[in-house]
Amino acid sequence: MIGVQPLLENRDWLAAIALLSLDLTRPFYGLMGVPIPNVQVFQDLLRQAVQRFPLGFVLFEPREPDLAAIDLVRQGVSSLSSPDHALALEVWIKTIFSPQDPRWYHYRRTLMRCEKQWREGAEDILELASYPEVVHAINKFRNRKELEITLSTAKRTVRSSWDLFMYNLGLYIDGPDIARQINNLLDAVRIRDPLQTVTETTDTNQFQQLWEVLLKSMRAEILDVLWRKAQQGIPTLLPHPMEYRRKL
């Protein structure tokens, strides 16, 4: 039945469909970790969803009739590609595009701080010297060269007819005047610079890759040290890294 998903999850779907339909974002699919093999067929499907059910995207208010766009994409990916790709897309939206569990960002902050202190000569409390694969993953995460080159190219690219259509719907604003063009809180949530969203999604995807290497490599005792360090100053109890490891 359409409309049974939580409201925020439906908004995430509409936002992902709109963003990934843009020609502007196509070069970033790999960086963002979009789990779709045939990008052209996928984008055609996304654009069909926008064209058939535009009101949900324009209003950014996923009412029941407009949620047909989400079902169209889910079913289309399943039939055009495979049910596995449809499931992978749903997982990507929940964990990368709009993480439902943002608490592991505390782990990211703690890991980066501990690694920086170790490089500067402080105690190696996470025993990073014993985990070269984790250090390599940290260095890879910090290397933003490919992202910066792709962003630079995208900013110089003339918008396609489809992208102009999406901008004309009022879904996106870019440039230095974005703050002054947003009139109210709803617009602040609904209207964004797509390249900013791409950057944030790439960042999340690349840290997720680092996080998985860390979980698979580190001893339980070291993960416990990371958990205790990340927990400092946090009023709510963070899930232990071992809980995340069991889900891999």
**5 pLDDT tier (thresholds 50, 70, 90):** very low
Taking 3-state DSSP, the helix, strand and coil percentages for the chain, each rounded to the nearest 5, stand at 70, 0, 25
User: Could you report the per-residue pLDDT of 151-167, keeping only the tens digit for each?
Assistant: 999 999 999 999 999 98
Judge contact between 237 and 201, C-beta under 8 A. no
Higher pLDDT, 134 or 56: 134
Cα angle vertex 163, ends 17, 159, to 5°?
145
Q: How far apart are CA 75 and CA 87, in angstroms?
A: 11
Q: On the CB side of 151, how many CA atoms lie within 13 Å of its CA?
A: 16
| pLDDT score recorded for residue 181 | 47
Does the structure show a pLDDT above 60 at 82? yes
Does the structure show a pLDDT above 50 at 26? yes
* Phi/psi at 192 (5° precision): -140, 160
User: Could you report the per-residue pLDDT of 107-141, keeping only the tens digit for each?
Assistant: 999 999 999 999 999 999 999 999 999 999 999 99
User: Could you report the per-residue pLDDT of 212-233, keeping only the tens digit for each?
Assistant: 999 999 999 999 999 999 999 8
Mean pLDDT of the chain, nearest integer: 85
Q: What is the mean pLDDT of residues 198-205?
A: 93
Ranges of each domain in the chain:
7-100+158-192
Q: What is the mean pLDDT of residues 181-203?
A: 69
Helix (H, G, I), strand (E, B) or coil at 205: helix
Q: What is the mean pLDDT of residues 176-197?
A: 58
**63 pLDDT tier (thresholds 50, 70, 90):** low
| pLDDT score recorded for residue 203 | 93
Judge contact between 56 and 66, C-beta under 8 A. yes
Q: What amino acid is encoded at 143 in this protein?
A: N
